[in-house]
């Protein structure tokens, strides 16, 4: 697993393209309520690109908008993907960035557009499937010239904090910018995928970690912005060894909310405030770009910080605006269309991110030696340059006891040297063959006069062969010295006595037997398995009692008694501790909830929000009904806090 935030910097070659405007498409969802459908829709399509809504200032007039595409309530997910998103995938395979994000009020169908269902998948699964298919086709047509690596990262922005959805962490992730002004997140996990099944394996559980809740306008409202990053690295395996890095951002924005309609209170109200604030900053960024201001407020919100490349940056961008046809959504529809009209004026300037990587043969360098005395320095000149030949400086022979550990490193170095000298000899012979067919004038222009060129090449060929012979002789001498030192080395039995050797070789076994015979093992049985001992009210019993059970002695007196420990539970104290946990859950205070084991700030807010919406908890197991808390997490919370209350009581 690799971490996108920590990488070795390589110089990036930017191939600038022409300015590309942001593509804006509008999608109208169908009615959800038949009663509202009888009143009619507030949005009417005027073709494949235009629409109109009634003017709230004058009912006799209408406001017309024109975008790159308009999709009515009968448009399928497949048509939206093919007409607005599919052409962006090609840029990702050629080292450019692309972004697709859904914008609109709450309950307008943004998550359905981006994620969809298993029967009707949305843009995210279709885009990943399209990239995988495109990579498979290019692999088959390029005969192994390029290699491809595809990785995914998934995050959410919840109340201005960035959380990793693939690998849940309890802390906020920071946003950074490298020297090339690329935005990255240190510590954000990245999973490598090769097929769509691997993508589903990571994406489906991660989607369940996203924060959602119920409001009056949406039974499953997204309380955070989510961003799926698909990274494609394309590496060339032949000269000039280019590497292209393209990224595809698939963004599902949380919807703007009117708290007078949603009825948000408590934690829901705080979530709504964070969502509306980030979307307000996004509107300020769009206004600043359109008006040509010197400062663009990207840093005022973490959402706009991550969208810096998508809005007015260096990527191909497509905004899918989702609208609701009901009359109760008219104000949200009006403001959303005005924002979309301003976003259509934004112009991005994408470029190709290309870097040069060194081939694997060059990266295989010899290991560092232990001392400077055993290091070797080799300098091989170009065959065309009439300078001194390659020189190999051989150090003095090390002592025999230290020769064996250094031999492996020297063998690697000398093997690479032999390979390089053989390549040099091949290059010299090839050059001589080329010069034999060239004209006299051409030979003179390549490397001096023909006689001088041939003399230099023959001299280098002779030197390289001489170096090969010397290296092979050195290897044979070193191996012979090692074999001689091993034969002359005295055996271990002459240096160590039999008692010391036996003691060192069996110390682990002796310690293990002593531990087995002296330390009794604790045999823990299930809490509800078998009869429970009655509670002695005269003395204060702990939550867990250890009862010593001694088996009757056998007839043979030499056999030691076997001791076992059995774990039993006190049911009354278990109920007492559960009541203590339940009291904290129903306290309604965030500080008390965070004092529980395995409950951080985010989980405490989920618990508090459920308590405010549904009333007090009747039992500790009611935590399993809270959306966003997996059953395994709830089990850890219950076990950890019952044990914690048992230790503190």
For 583-632, how does the pLDDT look when each residue is reduced to its tens digit (9 = 90+)?
Answer: 888 887 887 888 887 888 888 888 888 888 888 888 888 888 887 778 77
The string of pLDDT tens digits covering residues 564-595 is 444 455 677 777 777 888 888 888 788 788 88
- In this structure, of 214-223, 235-244, 617-626, the range with the lowest mean pLDDT score is 214-223
Pair of tokens at residue 171: 């802390």
> Which region holds residue 95: left if phi is over 0, alpha if psi is between -120 and 50, else beta?
left
Pair of tokens at residue 15: 């191939």
Residue at which a domain ends, from 353, 372, 390: 353
Residue 395, CB-side half-sphere exposure with 13 Å CA sphere: 16
Residues 149 and 266 in one domain: yes
Burial of 619 (0-12, 13-18, 19+ CB in 10 A): exposed
Does residue 130 contact residue 98 with C-beta atoms inside 8 Å?
no
pLDDT at 347: 92
Mean pLDDT of 533-548: 45
Structure letter (DSSP) for residue 466: H
pLDDT at 418: 62
Residues 222 and 285 in one domain: yes
Average pLDDT, the chain: 75
Confidence of residue 40 (pLDDT cuts 50, 70, 90): confident
Confidence of residue 153 (pLDDT cuts 50, 70, 90): very high
pLDDT at 413: 56
Q: Is residue 103 part of a domain?
A: yes
Burial of 597 (0-12, 13-18, 19+ CB in 10 A): middle
- In this structure, of 31-35, 264-268, 382-386, 414-418, the range with the lowest mean pLDDT score is 382-386
Q: In which domain, by residue range, is 590 found?
A: 547-648
Mean pLDDT of 525-540: 45
Residues 54 and 136 in one domain: yes
* Angle, in degrees to the nearest 10, between helices 123-141 and 196-208: 160
Q: How far, in Å, CA of 345 to CA of 297, rounded?
A: 18
Q: How far, in Å, CA of 25 to CA of 68, rounded?
A: 6
Mean pLDDT of 229-243: 91
Residue at which a domain ends, from 471, 486, 501: 486
Residues 552 and 593 in one domain: yes
Mean pLDDT of 413-433: 67
Q: How far, in Å, CA of 525 to CA of 568, rounded?
A: 8
Q: How far, in Å, CA of 466 to CA of 470, rounded?
A: 6
Confidence of residue 454 (pLDDT cuts 50, 70, 90): low
Q: Is residue 110 part of a domain?
A: yes
pLDDT at 531: 47
Residues 340 and 383 in one domain: no
Residues 304 and 323 in one domain: yes
pTM for the full predicted model: 0.56
Whether the predicted pLDDT of 221 surpasses 70 = yes
Q: Is residue 496 part of a domain?
A: no
Residues 230 and 273 in one domain: yes
User: According to the annotation, is 490 in a ligand binding site?
Assistant: no
User: According to the annotation, is 17 in a ligand binding site?
Assistant: no
Whether the predicted pLDDT of 234 surpasses 90 = yes
Mean pLDDT of 207-219: 79
Going across the sheet that includes 544-550, the strands are 522-523, 563-569, 544-550
Q: How far, in Å, CA of 303 to CA of 78, rounded?
A: 28
Residues 343 and 365 in one domain: no
Mean pLDDT of 496-511: 38
- In this structure, of 273-287, 308-322, 499-513, 562-576, the range with the lowest mean pLDDT score is 499-513
pLDDT at 248: 95
Whether the predicted pLDDT of 169 surpasses 60 = yes
Locate tokens 């080292």: which residue? 95
Whether the predicted pLDDT of 534 surpasses 70 = no
Does residue 122 contact residue 137 with C-beta atoms inside 8 Å?
no
Confidence of residue 493 (pLDDT cuts 50, 70, 90): very low
pLDDT at 378: 34
Out of 129-133, 428-432, 566-570, the most confident range is 129-133
Q: Is residue 531 part of a domain?
A: no
User: According to the annotation, is 542 in a ligand binding site?
Assistant: no
Residues 220 and 314 in one domain: yes
User: According to the annotation, is 106 in a ligand binding site?
Assistant: yes
The string of pLDDT tens digits covering residues 89-128 is 999 999 999 999 999 998 899 999 999 998 999 999 999 9
The string of pLDDT tens digits covering residues 331-350 is 999 999 999 999 999 999 99
Higher per-residue pLDDT: 87 or 432: 87
Residues 441 and 343 in one domain: no
Number of domains in the chain: 3
Q: Is residue 526 part of a domain?
A: no
Mean pLDDT of 188-210: 93
Confidence of residue 380 (pLDDT cuts 50, 70, 90): very low
Q: Is residue 320 part of a domain?
A: yes
Residue at which a domain ends, from 333, 353, 373: 353
CATH of the domain at 146: 3.40.850.10
372-409-9 Cα angle (round to 5): 80
Q: Is residue 415 part of a domain?
A: yes
Does residue 70 contact residue 51 with C-beta atoms inside 8 Å?
yes
Confidence of residue 388 (pLDDT cuts 50, 70, 90): very low
Q: How far, in Å, CA of 14 to CA of 390, rounded?
A: 38
Confidence of residue 268 (pLDDT cuts 50, 70, 90): confident
| C-alpha Rg value of the chain to the nearest Å | 36
Q: Is residue 493 part of a domain?
A: no
User: According to the annotation, is 398 in a ligand binding site?
Assistant: no
Helix, strand, or coil here: 231? strand
Q: How far, in Å, CA of 273 to CA of 267, rounded?
A: 10
Residues 332 and 462 in one domain: no
User: According to the annotation, is 108 in a ligand binding site?
Assistant: yes
Out of 213-222, 305-314, 317-326, 600-609, the most confident range is 317-326
Residues 563 and 445 in one domain: no
pLDDT at 528: 46
């Amino acid at each position: 697993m690799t971490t996108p935030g920590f990488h070795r910097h390589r110089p990036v070659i930017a191939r600038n393209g022409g300015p590309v405007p942001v593509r804006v498409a509008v999608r109208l969802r169908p009615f959800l309520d038949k009663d509202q459908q009888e009143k009619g829709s507030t949005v009417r399509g005027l073709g494949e690109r235009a629409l109109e809504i009634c003017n709230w200032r004058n009912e006799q007039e209408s406001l017309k908008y024109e975008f790159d595409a308009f999709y009515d309530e009968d448009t399928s997910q497949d048509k939206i993907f093919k007409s607005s998103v599919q052409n962006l995938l090609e840029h990702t395979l050629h080292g450019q960035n692309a972004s697709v994000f859904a914008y609109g009020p709450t309950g307008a169908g943004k998550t359905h557009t981006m994620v969809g269902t298993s029967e009707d998948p949305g843009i995210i699964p279709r885009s990943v499937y399209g990239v995988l298919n495109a990579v498979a086709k290019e692999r088959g047509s390029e005969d192994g010239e390029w290699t491809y690596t595809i990785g995914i990262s998934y995050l959410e922005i919840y109340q201005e904090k960035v959380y990793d959805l693939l690998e849940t962490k309890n802390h906020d992730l920071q946003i950074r910018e490298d020297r090339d002004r690329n935005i990255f997140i240190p510590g954000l996990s990245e999973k490598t995928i090769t097929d769509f099944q691997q993508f589903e394996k990571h994406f489906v559980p991660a989607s369940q970690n996203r924060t959602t809740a119920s409001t009056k306008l949406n039974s499953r409202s997204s309380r955070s912005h989510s961003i799926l990053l698909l990274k494609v690295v394309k590496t060339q395996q032949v000269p000039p060894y280019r590497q292209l890095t393209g990224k595809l951002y698939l963004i599902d924005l949380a919807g703007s909310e009117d708290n007078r309609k949603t009825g948000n209170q408590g934690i829901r109200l705080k979530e709504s405030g964070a969502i509306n604030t980030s979307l307000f900053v996004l509107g300020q960024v769009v206004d600043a770009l359109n008006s040509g201001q010197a400062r663009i407020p990207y840093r005022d919100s973490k959402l706009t910080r991550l969208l810096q490349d998508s809005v007015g940056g260096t990527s191909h961008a497509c905004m899918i605006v989702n609208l609701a046809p009901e009359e109760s959504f008219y104000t949200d529809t009006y403001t959303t269309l005005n924002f979309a009209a301003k976003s259509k004026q934004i112009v991005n300037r994408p470029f190709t991110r290309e870097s040069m990587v060194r081939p694997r043969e060059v990266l295989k360098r010899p290991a560092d030696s232990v001392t400077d005395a055993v290091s070797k320095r080799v300098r091989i000149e170009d065959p065309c340059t009439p300078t001194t030949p390659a020189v190999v400086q051989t150090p003095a022979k090390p002592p025999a006891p230290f020769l064996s550990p250094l031999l492996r490193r020297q063998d690697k170095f000398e093997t690479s040297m032999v390979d390089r000298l053989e390549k040099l000899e091949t290059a010299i012979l090839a050059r001589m063959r080329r010069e034999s067919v060239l004209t006299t004038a051409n030979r003179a222009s390549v490397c001096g006069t023909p006689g001088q060129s041939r003399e230099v090449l023959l001299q280098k060929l002779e030197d390289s062969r001489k170096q090969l012979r010397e290296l092979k002789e050195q290897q044979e001498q070193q191996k012979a010295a090692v074999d001689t030192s091993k034969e002359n080395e005295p055996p271990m039995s002459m240096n160590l006595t039999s008692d010391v050797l036996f003691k060192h070789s069996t110390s682990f076994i002796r310690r293990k037997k002593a531990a087995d015979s002296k330390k009794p093992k604790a045999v823990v049985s299930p809490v509800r398995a078998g009869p429970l001992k009655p509670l002695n009210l005269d003395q204060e019993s702990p939550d867990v009692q250890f009862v010593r059970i001694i088996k009757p002695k056998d007839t043979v007196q030499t056999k030691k008694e076997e001791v076992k420990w059995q774990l039993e539970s006190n049911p009354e104290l278990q109920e007492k501790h559960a009541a203590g946990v339940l009291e904290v859950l129903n306290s309604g205070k965030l500080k008390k909830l965070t004092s529980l084991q395995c409950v951080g700030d985010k989980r405490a807010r989920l618990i508090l929000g459920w308590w405010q919406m549904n009333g007090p908890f009747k039992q500790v197991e009611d935590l399993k009904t809270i959306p966003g808390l997996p059953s395994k997490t709830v089990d850890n919370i219950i076990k950890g806090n019952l044990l914690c209350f048992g230790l503190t009581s």
